[in-house]
Amino acid sequence: MGKKRVMVPAKELELSTVKYEKETILAPHLTGSILKLFVRIIEIPIIGSLIISFMKKENNMVEMLQNTEIPEKPMFKPEFPPQVRNLADCLCDIKPEAEPSVVIVDEEGKPTDRVESALKCLPHYDPASCWSGDTLPSFQYWKIRDFAYAYRSKLVTPSKIAEQIITLVEGCKYHKPPTPLLISFDAEDIRKQAAASTQRFKEGNPLSILDGIFMAIKDDIDCYPHPTKGASTWMHEVRSVEKDAVSVSRLRSCGVIFIGKANMHEFGMGTTGNNPNYGTTRNPYAHERYTGGSSSGPAAIVASGLCSAALGTDGGGSIRIPSSLCGVVGLKTTYGRTNMGGSLCGSGTVEIAGPIASTVEDVILVYAAILGSSPEDRISLKPSPPCLPILSSVENVNILGSLQLGKYTEVNWNFPLQWFNDVHSTDISDVCEDVLNLLSKSHGCKTIEIVIPELHEMRIAHLVSIGSESLRSLNPDIEDGKGVKLNCDTRTCMALFRTFTASDYVAAQCLSQPKEEGYDEENKNWAKLAGQTGNWRRRIMHHHMEIFKKVDVIVTPTTGMTAPKIPPSALENGESNMQVSGYLMRFILAANLLGLPAITVPVGYDKQGLPIGLQLIGRPWGEATILRLASAIEELCAESRRKPASFHDLLKTK
């Protein structure tokens, strides 16, 4: 046991003493037969435990979790304090008014009504001009409003679009290299849905602006009659799907057509999208590169133009990472804002379901349909009423100009590295910095220097949280013999998670506090660990809430690197590359550990032509603010948007 590290209370931490430390992950990069051998070794009871214990010690996890004394009491799921909009409100103890220029929607009402409200919030747009070829930029994605116009004008029908999609999906297996986008696909089911939508348009009675819009659903969310496998080879054998997930049901009531279950990293336990079970989805901008994960299929499907939107889940950047790497928009909502019923990760404390789309306005439309907390979360989290930004209002420009953006800049000339520019290539930080300057010049947004303490502790706390919850969810089936059917990188993760001895505690009393002594007799290690993890979450929540008294949004690059190359040796047996994961997750984790809303919006490209995303992190329940700002950023960057190498124009004009 090393020397005890004693933390001062979070409220007393002097920010001038905080020094940003570059993240260094000490772990081997393994693929192919070497990875298979490594997995077999670490699964040997005594030897494996020694190897993993050594790796944990080398990465300071032991010091962080066992040799640190933290004065704060645990927080085992996000707990949001009352929100203040600025420092003056905080000092005067004034409860702030609701954000201006928003429309409040009824989360218990009809999804179609919420979508209609969202449609009225959007700025003026004339789809007819796109069809005539007037004022078109070099490249733009077709919006949901374009499809709705085409259907209503009888230029095309959902059934005709369905046939194009079916042909394209069925042709994916013949591509070289193969581009597996969907795990479950039923052409006749698509035709049936499309025929019903076509008939509604023929009768002049579409259900909503989303009627006839094609979407893909990530394979950890139920979409009847498709099985839910989590991209594994066996989950559908032990878990049947009897109905749609809550979010899918809400979309279906708006007339959405589902093309199937999209590919993903097995059980979401990876950041690249690698999947030997069904093939690895390729990045539409460069087929030799990863899409990012774990929502790899949804992001690639949207980026390639096959669907206007898709539904993903995000427990550690799984919506934002692939959206950024594929050049599309991805929204991670506040924890509890959407109902997770009917998803494989529905019982965790870091995951949400959210939309991926080619444009911010399409994200808003899908978000309006799926939002609405579960009854349990409405009681425990007490969410603020959901609201949408009125982008069409004359006030919108003034509101944008009043926004304060927080950027972590190290004010130590002897240590020039900043969190914001701790990236694999300066192309990323340069592009993101340019966008912030453009926001200041065009809208008057002010960028304020902030300091975010204990970033390394946040990474460890997130790893323990999502790891123990994943283990708790899968352990019964693993103990029943399914563990050997997992991919090698998934088995590597599970071996690490087992050393946390977390599953019993999480399963028994996920939200209760350990005994005052910090352990119990039956599960000494886990109770102590759980307390530390919960303590870190409370401390880090405090740090972020203090920051949000000064700023409206925290801005970062979405990822620390653009799309990494796919090693050929990783296709058959997978890959374990913690250094790549570290870069991809560098700016991601606060939104998951603390339950904050965040969005990634494409802002440019690196020198290799690969997409770069800018991430906006908002206050709890502050989706309207980040959506408003994301829309403004999208408009500023519209002319620089490039068509992916693999793109399907479903509404191609003649």
Residues of 68-96 as b/e, b for ≥16 C-beta within 10 angstroms?
bebebebbbbbebeebbbbeeebeeeeee
What is the C-alpha separation between 328 and 637, in angstroms, rounded? 12
218 is catalytic: yes
What angle do helix axes 187-202 and 158-171 make, rounded to 10 degrees? 160
> Which amino acid appears at position 105 of this protein?
V
Active-site residue identified among 56, 77, 143, 218: 218
**List of long-range contacts for 410-413, beta carbons under 8 Å, 24+ apart:** 410/19, 410/20, 411/449, 412/19
If phi over 0 gives left and psi between -120 and 50 gives alpha, with beta otherwise, what is residue 100? beta
CB 465 within 8 A of CB 533: yes
Concatenating the DSSP letter of every residue in 68-131 gives EE--SPP-SS--PPPP-SSHHHHHHTPPPPPPSSEEE--TTS-HHHHHHHHHHHSPP--HHHHH
Non-local (6+) Cβ contacts of 262 within 8 A are: 181, 182, 183, 216, 217, 218, 219, 295, 296, 297, 298, 301, 310, 312
Helix or strand or coil: residue 182? strand
Query: Parallel, antiparallel, or unpaired: how do β-strands 575-576 and 30-31 relate?
Result: antiparallel
What angle do helix axes 488-498 and 455-477 make, rounded to 10 degrees? 110
User: How many angstroms separate the Cα of 551 from the Cα of each of 91, 405, 558, 591?
Assistant: 15, 6, 19, 16
User: Whose CA is closest to 108, among 250, 256, 210?
Assistant: 250
382 is catalytic: no
CB 621 within 8 A of CB 384: yes
Containing 148, the helix (H) or strand (E) segment is helix 144-152
Backbone angles phi, psi at 3, to 5 degrees: -65, 135
CB 341 within 8 A of CB 377: no
CB 292 within 8 A of CB 322: yes
User: Whose CA is closest to 348, among 237, 474, 444, 219?
Assistant: 474
240 is catalytic: no
What is the C-alpha separation between 120 and 370, in angstroms, rounded? 17
Helix or strand or coil: residue 597? coil
Q: Which residues does residue 612 pair with via DSSP β-bridges, in sequence order? A: 604
Peptide bond into 602 cis (omega under 30): no
Half-sphere exposure of 350 (CA within 13 A, CB side): 27
Torsion of CA 3, 7, 13, 17, to 10 degrees: 10
Active-site residue identified among 159, 208, 304, 318: 318
Q: Which residue in the block uniquely carries the two structure tokens 């908002």?
A: 618
Non-local (6+) Cβ contacts of 189 within 8 A are: 225
Peptide bond into 177 cis (omega under 30): yes
Q: Which residue in the block uniquely carries the two structure tokens 């904050």?
A: 596
Token reading at 140: 């733009």
Active-site residue identified among 101, 184, 197, 294: 294
Helix or strand or coil: residue 338? strand
Residues recognised as catalytic? 218, 294, 318
